Amino acid sequence: AFDENMKVWMDGEFLALKDAKISILSHVVHYGSAVFEGIRCYETENGPAVFRLKEHVKRLFESAKIYKMDIPFTQEEIFDAIIETIKVNNLKSCYIRPITYRGFGELGVNPLNCPVNTTIAVWEWGAYIGEEEMKQGANIGISTWRKPAPDTLPVLAKAGANYMNSQLANLEAREHGYDEAIMLDYQGHVAEGSGENIFIVENGKIVTPDLGSSILQGITRDSIITIAKDLGYKVSEEVISRERLYLADEVFFTGSAAEVTPIRAIDNRQIGIGSRGPLTKELQEKYFDVVNGKTEDIHNWLTYLE
């Protein structure tokens, strides 16, 4: 239930959501021609702060570059527009969705005869998988749908069309009674969730799939690797086989929406203690301390609104 009067930034101007419309004949509607970001703004003692905004804007532009979409704004302009959008909507904490898409022009597959439009929307959004799952862990199934091979759809682009693949995995998982899916890559190695990166803990060591495993280069993934190393843990990026998930002491998801979500079971096998593991809890708490501005921002990850 979105407020139809909330302000949406569209190509440089603010419109009420009910007026922020595009044509049904836009290229994006027919061919999925969009790249987007998912970002969070958190309430802190010093006002709202956006987490890793610069990195998210950079990734939006990189996704656009892969698809030869020329965004007619600079990264600084989009950065500032995001801050303005939160301010005009008077939100203390929110989820932020900038999206760049091919608009209304011609309808052949050739994408170059359509304008490149950009919209920014913000809204309040709680725990992505669930409040209870953040404490007790989520129940996950491995999907029969795999991530696209590297020469099919580029996974480093956060593109709308990639989420058709994610939707198949998510639908299947829900049909089987799971909260979310884990997908394997084209070779059968562990890749990621439908909208999350994945980590495992083995004998006190933290392991996550490497970039060769058809994963999105998650900004939360990078944050957790950095936080874990700051805490003195060993982190390695590896090719991970499916069965290592079952045998891991702990498994958790990361994502801007999912934050740090523990996993308690995979394919009906209990993981570790069958609830949030101790290292997951430590990293989750540390992550929330960082995003909520409760600990010193040593990596300069927060952009305060005021």
> What residues are annotated to the active site?
158
- Which H or E element spans position 59? helix 53-66
Which range in 26-34, 199-207, 251-259, 265-273 contacts ligand PMP by CB under 6 A?
Answer: 251-259
Asked if 98 is part of the footprint of ligand PMP (rule: CB under 6 A), the reply reads no
Which range in 83-91, 200-208, 217-225, 287-295 contacts ligand PMP by CB under 6 A?
Answer: 217-225
Tokens matching residue 43: 């309430």
Among 44, 220, 261, 284, binds ligand PMP (CB under 6 A): 220
Minimum CB distance to ligand PMP smaller for 213 or for 256: 256
Asked if 197 is part of the footprint of ligand PMP (rule: CB under 6 A), the reply reads yes
Minimum CB distance to ligand PMP smaller for 71 or for 159: 159
Q: What gap in Å lies between CA 211 and CA 228, rounded to an integer?
A: 18
Asked if 180 is part of the footprint of ligand PMP (rule: CB under 6 A), the reply reads no
Phi, psi of 50 (to 5 degrees): -90, 135
Asked if 221 is part of the footprint of ligand PMP (rule: CB under 6 A), the reply reads yes
Is residue 86 exposed (0-12), middle (13-18) or buried (19+ Cβ within 10 Å)?
Answer: buried
DSSP, collapsed to helix, strand or coil, labels residue 303 as strand
DSSP, collapsed to helix, strand or coil, labels residue 245 as helix
Asked if 259 is part of the footprint of ligand PMP (rule: CB under 6 A), the reply reads no
Which range in 26-34, 129-137, 212-220, 275-283 contacts ligand PMP by CB under 6 A?
Answer: 212-220
Location of structure tokens 């523990």: 262
Tokens matching residue 223: 């944050």
Residue 242's nearest CA partner among 137, 156, 144, 154 is 144
Asked if 148 is part of the footprint of ligand PMP (rule: CB under 6 A), the reply reads no
Q: Give residues in contact with ligand PMP (CB under 6 A).
A: 38, 166, 192, 195-197, 216, 218-221, 254-256
